[in-house]
Amino acid sequence: MRSTSLVVTLFISAILLAVTHDLAISLNWYYFYPFTDIPLHILGGFVIGLFSYLIFSSRRRFRLYDLNSQSLFIVIILSTLLVSLLWELLELVFFLTKDAGLSTETLSDIIFGSVGAVISWVAVEFIWRTKNTSE
């Protein structure tokens, strides 16, 4: 069963991510404060992790709410890694980054997105799934 608080948390996090990213671009935070993207990648990984949980748990054949903790972790991490890799490829193809090819900046973006995914797994596993099974 999907928890309303999970959907609300996802919505608020996605809005916060979009607004902060827009501010960072318009106020040149990425240029003046190069580490601005670290919390945004963590928040992005968190949003992708929650979204992937909601998408897969809404499908009856996947039944993520029946998965054990380790399998749920793998699903959330792989979903986030896939989106992160596709995003970095998009940046490379459309020259949205000043780095050419695979760089430490690209790798750190993927790592920080994965940190956000781990945080989303912890939230899903120890807050929402625990709450739904105890009700």
What are all long-range contacts of 67-74, with beta carbons under 8 Å and residues at least 24 apart?
69/125, 72/121, 72/124, 72/125, 73/118, 73/121, 73/125
pLDDT: which is higher, 41 or 57: 41
pLDDT: which is higher, 116 or 54: 116
Q: What is the spatial distance between Cα 21 and Cα 29, in angstroms, rounded to a whole number?
A: 9
Question: 81-122, pLDDT tens digit by residue?
Answer: 999 999 888 877 776 666 655 678 888 999 999 999 999 999
Q: How far is CA 131 from the centre of its chain?
A: 22
Tell me the one-letter amino acid at 102: L
pLDDT at 63: 59
Tell me the one-letter amino acid at 28: N
Q: Is 4 exposed, middle or buried (CB count within 10 Å of its CB: 0-12, 13-18, 19+)?
A: exposed
Integer angstrom CA distances of residue 118 from 27, 93, 115: 30, 28, 5
**Six token digits for residue 45:** 């990984």
